[in-house]
């Protein structure tokens, strides 16, 4: 076989291979072909499969109802692309403009209509008030929403709202406590005892890890390519933190808080589970010193631990009933108008100042000896500034005390810093009896959970003192004769599309 013949044969093979690759495109009768299908798991989203004769760049414009069109540009050029279409409205003929741009700048435009189904029949009406529209932070408000029927049975309704209270994302799959967005724009959710990564269309990308003793309430991502996950210690109850490799899910290490705190310290607030002495319910990672902060609800304590050494750094909480071995770690309050948090949730470190921490203070009882009655109590978001050198803490901001029992939540709740300096506060478990009176979570005489009509209020407020309410979502069941209601475990502000 001559060299010339080999060269010709190679050229023919290249031509055939190119033809096979281009076959799906070359047979197009127009410059492009678009096929769109709605998602089953996230029915307010769709997947567009786009073929074109030459490499193109895709742009989307999802038409809004309130002069709030959602636009997104995808940077890659390709002849075949799979593009997620997000932010559709339920029960609507949604208009979506798709623009294809070639390397030379030539554009092709197509407008499609996507008819979506209504939301589930038990989805609530969301009352929305935009007090100061110009001050609302960007993004969608992702709600870990749930419904309790008249008999107390729970069903999850995770969703995302725009600033007009319109539902723009909804997930139908199984979900536990965890719902977190990654830097890549995917979601980490809890399915049973596993963390699973899904895309915004609800498709499973990867099962991240499964924990032997379960996942309880929260997780955080470190800058060490790992996840810190709240779990239980062996033969114990919701008092452990487990670290796993964020890629492989492999176990790395664990912290048993029975060896860090004092398991014999009396609980306040109390729990029906006698073994539930700590009840870890929130975790945040501090990359500035490789530490993590956890919330122990039943000890009314927020605790900082050095990740590498596993040693206690400080304890934020009332000073009663601690053993002498732990008193050196108690932060000493300074300044005016200081109040401890009680039964708290959701610690978050200020992204611009690691000495500051925002906490949702449920406020259960607010005392060991003289508990405050629900009708006189309140819940709030509270911000503290901590000086580790002097082991002192001062309260620098709060919102919620001024609302009194109107937003008292003896369980769940959330507080977050927003990118524009505002704060998102989730009064997610406002509890009432059928006479509209605030009530506590547990009936200890009968060793049961109280029958409650639950509602939620999610507000965006400024960081002023006093804070100014910017945006409000109110969620409740209108039938005052039943215990049917809606809770919201957490509220987060995320973009639908992370920058492409």
Query: Is 60 exceeded by the pLDDT of residue 308?
Result: yes
What is the rounded distance in angstroms from the CA atom of residue 246 to the CA atom of residue 226?
4
Residue ranges, CATH 2.60.40.10, the chain:
31-115
Say how many residues make up the chain.
500
DSSP for 435-472 reads: TS-B--SEETTTTEEPP-EEEEEEEEE-SSSS--EEEE
Query: Is 70 exceeded by the pLDDT of residue 182?
Result: yes
69-91: per-residue pLDDT in tens? 999 999 999 999 999 999 999 99
Decide: helix, strand or coil at residue 7.
helix
402-416: per-residue pLDDT in tens? 999 999 999 999 999
pLDDT at 233: 87
Residues 162, 167, 172, CA angle at the centre, nearest 5°? 130
Per the CB < 8 A criterion, the answer to whether 168 and 179 are in contact is no
- Token reading at 29: 């009768």
The answer to whether the Cα torsion of 490, 491, 497, 500 is positive or negative is: negative
**pLDDT range class, residue 15, cuts 50, 70, 90:** low
Q: What's the CA dihedral at 243, 317, 275, 215 to 10 degrees?
A: -30
Other beta carbons within 10 angstroms of residue 442's beta carbon come to 18
Query: What value does the mean pLDDT take over residues 294-323?
Result: 97
Helix H or strand E encompassing 19: helix 3-26
Query: In 3D, which of 379, 377, 321 has the Cα closest to residue 345?
Result: 379
Place of tokens 């047979």: 27
Q: In the chain, what is the straight-line distance between the N-terminal and C-terminal CA atoms, in Å?
A: 50
- Token reading at 206: 């990867």
- 31-115 belongs to which CATH class? mainly beta
Beta bridge mates, 387:
392
Query: What value does the mean pLDDT take over residues 3-30?
Result: 53
Average of per-residue pLDDT values in the chain: 94
Give a three-class secondary structure readout of 357-377: EEEEECCCCCCCCCCCCHHHC
Query: In 3D, which of 238, 254, 339 has the Cα closest to residue 298?
Result: 238
Query: What value does the mean pLDDT take over residues 480-496?
Result: 97
pLDDT at 12: 56
pLDDT at 27: 43
Query: What value does the mean pLDDT take over residues 324-332?
Result: 98
Helix H or strand E encompassing 347: strand 345-350
* Ramachandran area for residue 46 (φ above 0: left; ψ -120 to 50: alpha; else beta): beta
- Token reading at 233: 């210690």
* pTM beyond 0.85: yes
Query: What value does the mean pLDDT take over residues 459-483?
Result: 97
- Token reading at 51: 């073929």
Query: Is 60 exceeded by the pLDDT of residue 494?
Result: yes
- 126-494 belongs to which CATH class? mainly beta
Q: What's the CA dihedral at 295, 298, 299, 303 to 10 degrees?
A: -10
- Quote the distance between the C-alpha of residue 81 and its chain's center: 29
């Amino acid at each position: 076989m001559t060299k010339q013949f080999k060269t010709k044969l190679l050229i023919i093979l290249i031509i055939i291979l190119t033809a096979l690759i281009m076959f799906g495109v070359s047979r197009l009768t127009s410059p492009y072909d678009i096929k769109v299908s709605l998602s089953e798991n996230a029915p307010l989203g769709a997947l567009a499969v786009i073929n074109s004769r030459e490499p193109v760049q895709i742009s989307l414009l999802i038409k809004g109802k309130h002069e709030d069109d959602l636009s997104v540009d995808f940077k890659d050029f390709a002849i075949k692309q799979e593009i997620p279409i997000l932010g559709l409205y339920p029960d609507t003929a949604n208009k979506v403009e798709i623009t294809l741009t070639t390397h030379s700048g030539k554009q092709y435009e197509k407008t499609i209509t996507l008819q979506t189904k209504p939301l589930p029949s038990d989805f609530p009406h969301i009352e929305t008030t935009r007090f100061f529209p110009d001050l609302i932070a960007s993004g969608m408000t992702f709600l870990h929403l749930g419904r309790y029927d008249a008999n107390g049975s729970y069903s999850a309704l995770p969703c995302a709202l725009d600033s007009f209270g319109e539902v723009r994302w909804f997930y139908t799959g199984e979900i536990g406590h965890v719902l977190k967005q990654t830097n890549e724009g995917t979601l980490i959710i809890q399915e049973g005892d596993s963390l699973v990564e899904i895309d915004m269309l609800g498709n499973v990308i990867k099962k991240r890890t499964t924990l032997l003793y379960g996942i309880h309430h929260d997780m955080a991502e470190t800058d060490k390519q790992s996840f810190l996950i709240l779990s239980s210690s062996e033969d114990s109850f919701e008092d452990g933190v487990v670290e796993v490799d964020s890629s492989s899910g492999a176990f790395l290490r664990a912290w048993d808080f029975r060896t860090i705190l004092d398991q014999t310290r009396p609980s306040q607030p109390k729990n029906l589970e006698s073994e539930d002495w700590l009840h870890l319910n929130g975790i945040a990672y501090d990359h500035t010193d490789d530490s993590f902060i956890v919330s122990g609800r039943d000890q009314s304590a927020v605790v900082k631990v050095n990740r590498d050494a596993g040693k206690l750094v400080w304890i934020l909480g009332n000073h009663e009933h601690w053993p002498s071995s732990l008193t050196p770690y108690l932060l000493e309050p300074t300044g005016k108008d200081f109040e401890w948090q009680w039964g708290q949730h959701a610690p978050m470190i200020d992204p611009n100042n690691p000495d500051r921490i925002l906490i949702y203070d449920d406020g259960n009882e607010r005392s060991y000896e003289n508990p405050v009655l629900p009708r006189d109590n309140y819940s709030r978001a509270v911000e503290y500034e901590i000086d580790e050198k002097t082991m002192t803490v001062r309260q620098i901001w709060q919102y919620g005390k001024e609302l009194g029992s109107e937003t008292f939540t003896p369980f769940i709740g959330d507080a977050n810093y927003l990118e524009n300096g505002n704060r998102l506060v989730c009064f997610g478990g406002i509890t009432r009896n059928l006479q509209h009176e605030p009530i506590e979570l547990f009936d200890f005489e009968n060793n049961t959970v109280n029958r409650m009509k639950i509602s939620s209020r999610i507000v965006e407020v400024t960081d002023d003192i006093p804070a100014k309410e910017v945006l409000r979502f109110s969620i409740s069941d209108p039938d005052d004769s039943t215990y049917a209601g809606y809770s919201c475990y957490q509220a987060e502000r995320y973009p639908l599309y992370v920058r492409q």
